[in-house]
Structure 1
Amino acid sequence: MSPFAYLAHTQLPALADRYDFKINYHAIDLPAAKLAVGNTAPPNVSMPVKLRYLMTDLQRWARRYDVPLVFPKTLKSERLNLGLYFAINRGRAEDYLRTAWLPTWGQGGDMGNEELIADVAHSMNWDVSEFLRFLDSPEAHDRYATDNQEAHRRGVFGAPTMMLGEEMWWGNDRLVFLEERLAAIKNDGGRQ
């Protein structure tokens, strides 16, 4: 549900490739992660002044990355989050995220809409009914719960969060610091 996770992901795979790192993807319930660390502030959409700034800032980042960004009709992301595990099972997490984010943050679609979710599966050349069944499966829900528990344990409070060991970088604007760390590791021959 995070626009900044969408924006970061337009850059992160290339960054990982440049430094020979592999991304291990995890889905989280963002409102639950915020609450787990005590963030009880109202959502951005209920603060018009902050939302106006946020929308301007998002467009600045979209222009910088030369990607489309349209606020989706809803932020009901749980079913698309659950789909990540179907993609991971098939070794296609990166493709799935790119495919799921295009009609949502890229084009403003309703991320909770079952037709949009089915279209994402179809675009991935997956059996749509198998994908939709997986979203309702105990496996999907158990893995989502496990990822959320682990995120809470590690102190994840927002998205995107990138972890390298126990080091954390939060936010699209922190990719530059992550890259500095990856470069230092590469320059040190991977010994850090």
Structure 2
Amino acid sequence: MSTVKVQFLFDFGSPNAYLSHKVIPAIEARQGVRFEYVPILLGGLFKLTGNRSPAETTAHIENKRKYMMLELQRFVDTHGLTAYRMNPHFPVNTLQLMRGAVAAQREGVEGLFERYVDRMFAHMWEDGLKLDDPQVLRATLEADGFDAARFEAALGDADVKGTLLANTQAAFERGAFGAPTFFVGEEMFFGKDRLRDVEEEIARVKTSA
């Protein structure tokens, strides 16, 4: 694997982060790199930057809203992401989910974090579950074979909470304002539509190394 540092700042509440997650493995395979997944809290980042979600900012701009849906469908079609479905409960409060991601990362068990991320993205944007309902989340964790009680206990851990806040603050200080955000070294790219640019930057850095 290449030593190029590539980071993916994500929140499960972003459909574009989900779509990016599905495309990242192909980039990793082509470029011989591994993306570092960094959990952040999108709502917290919005507060820090004064930003708002596209659903809010385009609610009364019909042409722009229609174009955004068209652009999303083009991406889905291009990459064959036929499992994607808009979550009927959107927006979903992802605080506990993102703390869960940090907790899974901290466990240090090989593959645990990756499987948690993959399953939560799928449940959010393929299965359309209301994952901010504690009962739904517990049932989902149990069905996926996770230790639900252990996860629930970790959600209140001060270090878990602090790490998520620190990740979000660091993202803000580096210039991020939403998700998905990517860093190749210190070069920032925003949105799933910049994945081609991300890949080109990875290739450039590899060549110049």
TM-score (norm 1): 0.86
| Counterpart for residue 119 of structure 2 | 99
Q: Please tell me whether residue 84 in structure 1 is matched to residue 101 in structure 2.
A: yes
Q: Please tell me whether residue 47 in structure 1 is matched to residue 60 in structure 2.
A: yes
Q: Please tell me whether residue 63 in structure 1 is matched to residue 100 in structure 2.
A: no
Structure 1 counterpart of 2:96, one-letter code: R
| Separation (CA, whole Å) in 1 of partners of 2:143 and 2:184 | 31
Given that residues 45 and 169 in structure 2 are in contact (C-alpha distance below 8 angstroms), is that contact kept between their aligned partners in structure 1?
Answer: no
* Residue 173 of structure 1, aligned match among 178, 181, 193: 193
Compare relative contact order (CA 8 Å, sep 6+) and give the higher one, 1 or 2.
2
Displacement of 1:153: 0.9
| Separation (CA, whole Å) in 1 of partners of 2:140 and 2:34 | 24
| Separation (CA, whole Å) in 2 of partners of 1:47 and 1:99 | 33
Number of residue pairs the alignment of both structures matches: 189
Unaligned regions of 5+ residues in structure 2, if any?
A: 1-12
| Separation (CA, whole Å) in 1 of partners of 2:58 and 2:131 | 17
Structure 2 counterpart of 1:102, one-letter code: A
* Residue 145 of structure 2, aligned match among 121, 125, 128: 125
Q: Which of 23-32 and 2-11 deviates more?
A: 23-32
Q: Please tell me whether residue 182 in structure 1 is matched to residue 202 in structure 2.
A: yes
| Separation (CA, whole Å) in 2 of partners of 1:167 and 1:2 | 21
**Compared with structure 1, are the counterparts of its residues 32 and 128 closer, same or farther at alpha carbon in structure 2 (3 Å cutoff)?**
closer
Q: Which of 1-10 and 70-79 deviates more?
A: 70-79
| Separation (CA, whole Å) in 2 of partners of 1:55 and 1:119 | 31
TM-score (norm 2): 0.79
| Counterpart for residue 31 of structure 1 | 43
- SS of aligned partner of 1:110: coil
| Separation (CA, whole Å) in 1 of partners of 2:29 and 2:135 | 33
Q: Deviation above 6 Å: which 4+ runs of structure 1?
A: none
Q: Which of 48-57 and 136-145 deviates more?
A: 48-57
RMSD: 2.3
Q: Percent identity?
A: 28
| Separation (CA, whole Å) in 2 of partners of 1:39 and 1:152 | 11
Structure 1 counterpart of 2:180, one-letter code: P
**Compared with structure 1, are the counterparts of its residues 56 and 116 closer, same or farther at alpha carbon in structure 2 (3 Å cutoff)?**
farther
- SS of aligned partner of 1:26: strand
Unaligned regions of 5+ residues in structure 1, if any?
A: none
Given that residues 122 and 128 in structure 1 are in contact (C-alpha distance below 8 angstroms), is that contact kept between their aligned partners in structure 2?
Answer: yes
| Separation (CA, whole Å) in 2 of partners of 1:6 and 1:40 | 19
Structure 1 counterpart of 2:15, one-letter code: P
Given that residues 184 and 201 in structure 2 are in contact (C-alpha distance below 8 angstroms), is that contact kept between their aligned partners in structure 1?
Answer: no
